[in-house]
Amino acid sequence: MKIAFIGQKGIPATSGAVEKYAENLAARLSEMGHDVLVYTRNNYTEKSLVKYKGIRLIHIPSIRSKNLETISYTFLATIHALFQEYDVIHYQSIGPASLSFILKFFKRKTLVISTFHSRDYLGKKRSEFAKRYLRFGEKIACKFSDKTIAISKNIRNYVFSKYKIKTVYIPNGAQTEYNCQTQALDRWELKDKKYIFCIGKVIKSEGIKYLIEAFKKIEDTNKLPNNMKLVIVMDDSN
């Protein structure tokens, strides 16, 4: 199949959970023999890079603005996709998925999939207009996509409660191999296999408070090894 990814900033991923998700999924689909293309933003992926891990990269310009960069890139990528013969187009996040209806209107035989990564409008730093637009994108992603992927049970339950639509629940995976920098461990006085690590965003939907509460409860019952610590690394950009 010929599969295109729209919505992520680009690959190879240098930051961002969505970018990591898109890179790993696209690479695995390519390994399976599919023809995979990823639309990248010019200010994220080097223009000279045209192929990565078997994935073809399509470079798209965007308006360098906090409120217009994502939507301008997504619009141009969507217009480009209209003139391609893709079997599947996979939108990442509810913001970019707001334009998926264009493809469904003009390319009805093309399967459109949207992955609902997060309720991004819950972030405190977004303007009221941005929050309203993301809610609009959420509705489009859920109602116009042929399939909507929910990466958590909370999102799956939320979509069904609000829109009466059944999503496909596919939790994110994680690479088990890692290379930990000992300088970071020393700085925070952490010892190997003596800490629980969590990385996420400072938004309500991440549910970090439940992790903290669970850790405290287990700690209070003395079921944790001595000196076990909970380490939370968070990105407050949203």
Report the C-alpha gap between 122 and 49 in whole angstroms. 35
| Ramachandran area for residue 68 (φ above 0: left; ψ -120 to 50: alpha; else beta) | alpha
Task: State the pLDDT at residue 32.
Answer: 96
Helix axes 153-163, 128-144, angle to 10 degrees: 80
Task: State the pLDDT at residue 237.
Answer: 53
Identify the CA nearest to 117 among candidates 214, 229, 38, 5: 5
Full-prediction pTM beyond 0.85?
no
Q: Spell 89-104 as b/e; 16+ CB within 10 A means b.
A: bbbbbbbbbbbbbbbb
Whether 134 contacts 120, CB under 8 Å: yes
Task: State the pLDDT at residue 218.
Answer: 86
- Residue with token string 């990105």: 235
Signed CA dihedral, 9, 7, 165, 28: sign only: negative
Task: State the pLDDT at residue 181.
Answer: 64
- Residue with token string 């264009």: 102
Structure tokens at 179: 């290379």
Report the C-alpha gap between 85 and 82 in whole angstroms. 8
Report the C-alpha gap between 211 and 102 in whole angstroms. 40
Going residue by residue through the chain (238 aa), what tens digit of pLDDT does each one get? 999 999 999 999 988 889 999 999 999 999 999 999 999 999 899 999 999 999 999 999 999 888 889 999 999 999 999 999 999 999 999 999 999 999 999 999 999 999 999 998 887 778 889 999 999 999 999 999 999 999 999 999 999 999 999 999 999 887 766 666 667 778 778 887 788 888 776 666 677 888 889 888 888 887 777 778 888 887 655 4
Report the C-alpha gap between 134 and 155 in whole angstroms. 15
